[in-house]
Amino acid sequence: MSIKRQKIIRLSLTYLVVMIMAVIIIYPILWVIGASMTPGTSLSSSSLIPKNPTWEHFKTIFNLEKSNYLIWYWNTLKISLITMVSSVIVISFTAYAFSRYQFIGRKHGLVTFLMLQMIPNFAALIAIFVLARAADLLDTHAGLILIYVGGAIPMNTWLMKGYLDSIPKELDESARMDGAGHMRIFIQIIMPLAKPIIAVVALFNFITPFTDFILAKVILRSPEKYTLAVGLYDLVSRQYGSEFTTFAAGSVLIAIPISILFLSFQKYFVTGLTAGGVKG
């Protein structure tokens, strides 16, 4: 078989795999969008292109007399932004300390972080509930934010530390010779060079409150404090009984802020994610 023919076969297989993956990813998204504009309440008649598309479901979720969707959306957006900013600050300092300094317990701390990130959140639900109740943080957004930020530290610290390890330490030494202190080196030298991994950490932690259901369900009790995941579940299971098309309409709108943030950070995302895997 000629080299040219081998290249054609490889290229064809590559495009075939890409097309299959694209269909697997895009089809469910298009189906949910179609379901959100399908008349009625059942998903059985939903299709990619509804026969009689309607915006009625979107009107329902925006009607404050029928749904608290806008309140849930604001709650989730607020929690996501605070979680994102707080996580980036805490993780940046933690990862910088593990990357640049030698101190007692450093290796044990990294191993502990590695072990903690292997434990799923739902395995610690009882402990989280007891701690939240003891700290009087049940049914508060502050309690949920603390859980999200704390849970993000182990994995993201490893990720950011791997990236910071790839930044030459000679830059730190040169800055110290010029009289720069630790904080100045961190803020003015390291952080600007770490923009790709900061974007990755920010995106991961922004998405979490939008996609999490279990932790939010355990902590939040009042309907006016629900996040979108809990609120939409409550909308379907209790308030309307079987409004699955309304649920689809609410789900479609969740993608808007996540998509905007992803597109804003896209130029950093791949670089930061791959560079963060460097062995420290």
Regarding whether 218 and 158 lie in a shared domain, the answer is: yes
User: pLDDT, tens digit, for every residue of 204-253?
Assistant: 999 999 989 999 999 999 989 999 999 888 877 765 556 777 888 888 88
Neighbours of 84 (CB within 10 A): 23
Over residues 173-186, the mean pLDDT reads 87
Regarding whether 177 and 45 lie in a shared domain, the answer is: no
Regarding whether 260 and 208 lie in a shared domain, the answer is: yes
Residue 47 in domain: yes
The pTM of this model reads 0.83
- Tokens of residue 253, six digits: 């709108």
Residue 280 in domain: no
CATH of the domain at 161: 1.10.3720.10
**What gap in Å lies between CA 90 and CA 167, rounded to an integer?**
19
What is the model's pLDDT at position 46? 59
Tell me, what amino acid is at 246?
T
- Overall domain count for the chain: 2
Regarding whether 186 and 94 lie in a shared domain, the answer is: yes
Residue 236 in domain: yes
Residue 225's closest CA among 87, 85, 73? 73
Domain holding 8, by residue range, is 3-56
Regarding whether 190 and 97 lie in a shared domain, the answer is: yes
pLDDT: which is higher, 278 or 206: 206
User: pLDDT, tens digit, for every residue of 94-149?
Assistant: 999 999 888 888 888 888 888 877 777 777 888 889 999 999 999 999 999 999 99
User: pLDDT, tens digit, for every residue of 39-83?
Assistant: 776 666 556 677 777 888 788 888 877 788 999 999 999 999 999
What is the model's pLDDT at position 45? 57
**What gap in Å lies between CA 262 and CA 123, rounded to an integer?**
30
Residue 233 in domain: yes
